[in-house]
Homo-oligomer: A and B are copies of this chain.
Amino acid sequence: MLGRVAVVGTGLIGASAGLAARRAGAGRVSGWDPDGDVLRVAAERGAVEAAGTLAEAVAGADLVVVAAPVAELPATVRGVLDAASQGCAVTDVGSTKSAVCAAAGGDGRFIGGHPICGAETRGPERASAELFEGATWFLTPAAGTGPGLLRRVHGFVTALGARPVAIDPDAHDRLVALTSHLPHVLANVLLNQAGASRIDGHDPLQAAGGSLRDMTRVAGANPRIWVDIFLDNREALAAALGDQRRRLEQVEAALAAGDAGFLARWIAEAAGNRRRLLATAYDDPGALQRLRVHLPDRPGVLAGIFQALGAERINVEDFEMEHLSTDRGGTLTILVAGEREAGRAANLLEAQGYGVVVAPVIDE
């Protein structure tokens, strides 16, 4: 049903696409990578049949997936379009779309793609057919893309377990500038600001609470990937950064003026947006309750808690266990829906001797 697939660039994403395509019943998956070792490992993992050249990999394919680093995408896609047949669909998996779509020069066979699977480019050793399960996968068809080719790529993405979302390439780049690239920049800036200061002999990083830790999880991410992404999307990212700076100036002005009304409205706006954000993941974000429990660093503690919750059929929506320090144990956070369920869970944990703090996730 998927026909013949070729994968150009057989790192983690490319090899995973190969494995997923095979699982979904692709007739044949050939592959090529400029790095012979990467190609060999992908072939050994059963992700692709190794071809000797890019042209050989692409020959006879119904669909080519280009999984090259962002900086190399434009040239690689041009090369693939030159080598591919007239009826072949060509797509990619890059984090930005404007440059690569421009490089394709409006060729109707090219449909840009970007799976949001959180995986950074690395080797094919841990490639997985399940990598794309549940992921949003942006597609940017060209004006000249025929419905047949679009259907083919759409079907491919769906067969891999992802959810295709069509979007204009420039809109895509402005969207990810806001949802991914700006957060990465802010995480780096915030962590470097906190890490650069010593305050009266105290290291802010030693005193960091959960908010700083949550906000800097993506800081310091692989520079070999992110420098190219930031530069490739510099226009949209700069616009987002400028907007961010203007918003910070507004807050500074409100602080200087002691404008409690502005701050209250601004926080309320954020609470409303957080409700909308959580509504993508939960049926009723307003009902979510957060339970926090401090746990000693002792084996078996967690198993005991989850067994008890399971035995009482308390439905845990999400949870998180995070170390406070090497000698102070950690914090277990559990999300449940509804105050009644939260009360049951809290009573159960308190009966086990734990102190539980319950609070609504959205606290307006």
Q: Is the CB of B267 within 8 A of A223?
A: yes
Are B179 and A208 within 8 A (Cβ)?
yes
Q: Mark A187-200, 1 if CB is under 8 A from B, else 0.
A: 11111111101011
One of B208, B218, B231, B252 near A214 (C-beta < 8 A): B218
State whether B255 touches A237 (Cβ < 8 A): yes
B355 near A220: Cβ-Cβ < 8 Å? no
* Stretch from A30-38, A101-109, A239-247 at the B interface: A239-247
Q: With the chains together, A175 CA to B280 CA distance in Å?
A: 35
A12, A209, A331 interface centre (most CB from chain B within 10 Å)? A209
Given contacts A171-B199, A187-B215, contact A223 B274 (CB under 8 A): no
Q: With A and B bound together, what is the CA distance between A344 and B151 in angstroms?
A: 40
Within the complex, which residue of B191, B282, B315, B328 is in contact with A326, where a contact is CB–CB below 8 Å?
B282
B175 touches A207 (CB 8 A): yes
Is the C-beta of A219 less than 8 angstroms from some C-beta in chain B?
yes
Tell me how far the C-beta of A211 lies from the nearest C-beta in chain B, rounded to whole angstroms. Answer: 4
Cα A346 to Cα B127 in complex, Å, equals 12
CB of A325 closer than 8 Å to a CB of B: yes
Chain A: interface residue count, which band?
Answer: 35 or more
- Chain B positions within 8 Å of A199 at CB level: 171, 174-175, 178
Q: Does A143 contact B (CB under 8 A)?
A: no
Q: A192-B270, A192-B273 known; A209 and B256 CB under 8 Å?
A: no
Contact pattern, A 348-364, Cβ under 8 Å of B = 1, otherwise 0: 00100011111100111
B274 touches A219 (CB 8 A): yes
Task: Answer whether A175 and B202 are a contact pair too, CB < 8 Å, given A223-B263, A324-B281.
Answer: yes
Pick 6 A–B contacts, CB within 8 A, sort by A.
A131-B357, A182-B193, A186-B186, A282-B323, A303-B306, A318-B320
User: A-B pairs with the 8 shortest C-beta distances?
Assistant: A130-B355, A220-B271, A128-B355, A195-B273, A171-B200, A134-B328, A220-B270, A281-B323
